[in-house]
Amino acid sequence: MKKPINNFFKNYRFQIINVTLIFYCLLLVILTSLPGSSVSKTSQIDKLYHIAAYGLLSFILYFFLIFQNKVQYLKKFPATFTFILASTFGLVNEFHQIFIPSRTFNKFDLLANLIGIVLTLGVIKFFLLVNKSYNFK
């Protein structure tokens, strides 16, 4: 007998990941729209925040692409499109900070974003290689 909670997540996983992706993107935009913080722009902790934030974005985005059924090309190459979409979001988000008081465009933040994206995609690919029998259907 299947558990009801498992059926719920299986039946509504795309809607759940869709809402999660929208709220997380909004959260990133809101947080980066606040005036500059007390964290130094070049501190290691700031870069770790970027790595974690864009790692999580990549994770959510990857599974959004896997679970969607409208564009099969996106579903066929989720890592490539996750990289393109997440890095573009990071670039646009970093660029918009030029217009926020006491914030600037920082190329090292972009680099940290890319590191988070690549690390997360690497972990996902590793997991999928180790668990070849895992099926997202």
Transcribe 49-64 into DSSP letters: HHHHHHHHHHHHHHHH
Residue 66's nearest CA partner among 129, 134, 116, 114 is: 134
pLDDT at 34 over 60: yes
Residue 43's pLDDT band (cuts 50, 70, 90): confident
pLDDT at 130: 84
pTM of the full predicted structure?
0.85
Distance between CA atoms of residues 120 and 58, nearest Å = 7
pLDDT at 8: 67
pLDDT at 48: 94
pLDDT, tens digit, 9 for 90 and up, residues 66-76: 988 899 999 99
- For residue 12, the one-letter residue type is Y
CA dist 84 to 26, 76, 80, 89, 121, Å? 19, 14, 6, 9, 12
Per-residue three-class SS string for 89-111:
HHHHHHHHHHHCCCCCCCHHHHH
pLDDT at 80 over 60: yes
Q: Judge contact between 117 and 62, C-beta under 8 A.
A: no
pLDDT at 2 over 70: no
pLDDT at 123 over 80: yes
